[in-house]
């Protein structure tokens, strides 16, 4: 005969109450405070499954992106160099006006090619202005090759020829101290050559000349944020066009 009994309610501890109030920011990693979800040993979960503790972190409120170098980073380096290093400007009505730089999205680029101008939301012509876009991506196989059919590796390791810990002293010789070896693991990226097209539009040729001179001076240097990666930029040629058509605005344009 089965015995009927009532289980006495057990109050929750402070840890269980606080854990129930926390909601995981990422459903993939779950609640980092719950040992059962993380695979640790607990009375409810008898399995002792190892896990990577470095992945138990929250990206909530984190403004620093993970370590990557992609196409968008190279585009941002060009935008950064234009805005913070070259700082193109023109003299308009006796005042120095900074020239805005925009990335040529398909809609903007089509508008420039069709109407010869870029207009704002009110329909006014935006000049002076600099617009650039990425055209192509070519692999540069002359520097290095990341993949090898016999031994595919994503990084290379090499030993440093000089180590500051191995300085010569008589004390090291008397104590038979063994020199230390220092190794560096270097990630091998995919080396590529990116080709960009840039359009400069101004009202006067004198304004265009000053912008071209500033950009030409910055050519063959490394563009980008000094606190991040920088990329070598080369400009081979500039083309200038001056048009004055009937019932249209004067157009002074340079491309490189």
**176-217 confidence digits (pLDDT tens):** 666 778 887 777 778 889 999 998 888 888 888 998 999 999
Measured over the CA atoms of residue 9, residue 15, residue 16 and residue 18, the dihedral's sign is positive
Domains identified in the chain, total number: 2
Res 46: pLDDT: 46
Res 195: pLDDT: 94
* 98, 89 contact by CB (below 8 A): yes
- Interval 32-37 mean pLDDT: 58
238 with 211, same domain: the answer is yes
Question: Is residue 7 included in any domain, yes or no?
Answer: no
The residue among 39, 40, 38, 10 whose CA lies nearest residue 24 is 38
Per the model's pLDDT, the better-predicted residue between 188 and 246 turns out to be 188
Question: Is residue 201 included in any domain, yes or no?
Answer: yes
Residue 200's contacts (CB-CB under 8 Å, 6 or more residues apart) are 128, 129, 130, 208, 211, 212, 253, 254, 255, 256
Asked whether residue 37 carries a pLDDT value surpassing 60, the answer given is: no
107 with 195, same domain: the answer is yes
- Interval 125-139 mean pLDDT: 86
195 with 250, same domain: the answer is yes
- Note the pTM of the prediction, 2 decimals: 0.62
- Tell me the pLDDT band of 35, cut-offs 50, 70 and 90: low
Partner residues linked to 183 by β-bridges = 159
54 with 91, same domain: the answer is no
59 with 81, same domain: the answer is no
**Mean pLDDT of the residues in the chain:** 76
Asked whether residue 102 carries a pLDDT value surpassing 80, the answer given is: yes
Counting Cα atoms < 13 Å in the Cβ hemisphere of 115 gives 15
The most confident of the ranges 101-110, 153-162, 198-207 is 198-207
Res 41: pLDDT: 45
Question: Is residue 53 included in any domain, yes or no?
Answer: yes
- Tell me the pLDDT band of 235, cut-offs 50, 70 and 90: very high
80 with 122, same domain: the answer is yes
Question: Is residue 221 included in any domain, yes or no?
Answer: yes
Structural domain boundaries, residue 59: 27-64
Q: C-alpha angle with apex 103: 221 to 194, nearest 5 degrees?
A: 45
Per the model's pLDDT, the better-predicted residue between 52 and 4 turns out to be 52
Res 153: pLDDT: 66
Residue burial 206-224, b: 16+ Cβ < 10 Å; e: rest: ebbebbbebbeeeeeeebb
Asked whether residue 81 carries a pLDDT value surpassing 80, the answer given is: yes
Res 80: pLDDT: 92
32 with 131, same domain: the answer is no
Asked whether residue 17 carries a pLDDT value surpassing 60, the answer given is: yes
Question: Is residue 12 included in any domain, yes or no?
Answer: no
119 with 203, same domain: the answer is yes
Asked whether residue 47 carries a pLDDT value surpassing 60, the answer given is: no
131 with 42, same domain: the answer is no
- Interval 86-100 mean pLDDT: 87
The residue among 80, 115, 143, 140 whose CA lies nearest residue 199 is 115
82 with 114, same domain: the answer is yes
CATH code of the domain containing 122: 3.30.2000.40
Per the model's pLDDT, the better-predicted residue between 4 and 99 turns out to be 99
């Amino acid at each position: 005969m089965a015995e009927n009994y009532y289980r006495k309610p057990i109050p929750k501890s402070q840890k269980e109450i606080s854990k129930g109030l926390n909601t995981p920011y990422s459903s993939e990693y779950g609640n980092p405070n719950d040992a059962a979800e993380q695979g640790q040993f607990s009375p409810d979960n008898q399995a002792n499954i190892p896990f990577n503790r470095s992945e138990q972190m929250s990206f909530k409120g984190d403004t620093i992106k993970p370590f990557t170098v992609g196409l968008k980073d190279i585009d941002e380096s060009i935008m950064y160099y234009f805005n913070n290093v070259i700082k193109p400007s023109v003299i308009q009505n006796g005042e120095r006006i900074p020239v805005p730089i925009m990335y040529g999205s398909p809609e903007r680029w089509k508008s420039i090619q069709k109407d010869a101008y870029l207009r704002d939301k009110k329909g006014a012509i935006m000049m002076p202005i600099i617009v650039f876009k990425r055209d192509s991506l070519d692999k540069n196989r002359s520097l290095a090759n990341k993949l090898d059919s016999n031994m595919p590796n994503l990084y290379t390791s090499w030993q440093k020829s000089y180590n500051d810990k191995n300085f010569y002293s008589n004390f090291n010789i008397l104590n038979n101290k063994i020199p230390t070896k220092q190794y560096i693991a270097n990630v091998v990226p995919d080396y590529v050559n990116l080709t960009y097209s840039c359009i400069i539009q101004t009202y006067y040729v004198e304004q265009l000349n000053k912008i071209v001179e500033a950009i030409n001076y910055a050519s063959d240097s490394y563009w980008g944020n000094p606190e991040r990666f920088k990329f070598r930029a080369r400009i081979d040629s500039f083309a200038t066009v001056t048009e004055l058509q009937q019932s249209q605005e004067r157009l002074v344009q340079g491309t490189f």
